[in-house]
Amino acid sequence: MRKIILFCIGMIIIAGAIQPQRIVHCPTAGITDHGNLLMFASAFPEDGLRVALSLGLWDRLQVSTAYGAMKLVGRGSVTLDKSPGLGIKFRMMHEGINTPAVAIGVETIGFGEYIEDSQRFEHKSRGVYVVASKNWRFLAGNLGIHSGINYSFEQNFSQGFSFYVGMDKDIKDALGFKLEYDLAPGDWKEPYGNGYGYLSAALCMYFSRSGYVTFNFFDILGNIKGKVAPSREFFVFFSAKIF
Measure the CA–CA gap between 110 and 64, rounded to whole angstroms: 12
* Residue 125: predicted pLDDT: 95
What CATH number does the domain containing 182 carry? 2.40.160.40
For the chain, what is the mean pLDDT?
88
Measure the CA–CA gap between 165 and 113, rounded to whole angstroms: 23
* Residue 15: predicted pLDDT: 38
Measure the CA–CA gap between 241 and 221, rounded to whole angstroms: 39
> Mean pLDDT across the stretch 184-204?
89
What is the helix (H) or strand (E) element at residue 39, kind and residue range? strand 36-44
Q: How many domains does the chain have?
A: 1
Per-residue pLDDT for 189 more than 70?
A: yes
In the chain, the percentage of residues whose pLDDT exceeds 70 is: 93
Per-residue pLDDT for 74 more than 80?
A: no
Domain that holds residue 180: 2-241
> Mean pLDDT across the stretch 80-93?
94
Q: Give 115-140 pLDDT, tens digit per residue.
A: 888 888 999 999 999 999 999 988 88
* Residue 13: predicted pLDDT: 38
Per-residue pLDDT for 8 more than 60?
A: no
* Residue 46: predicted pLDDT: 84
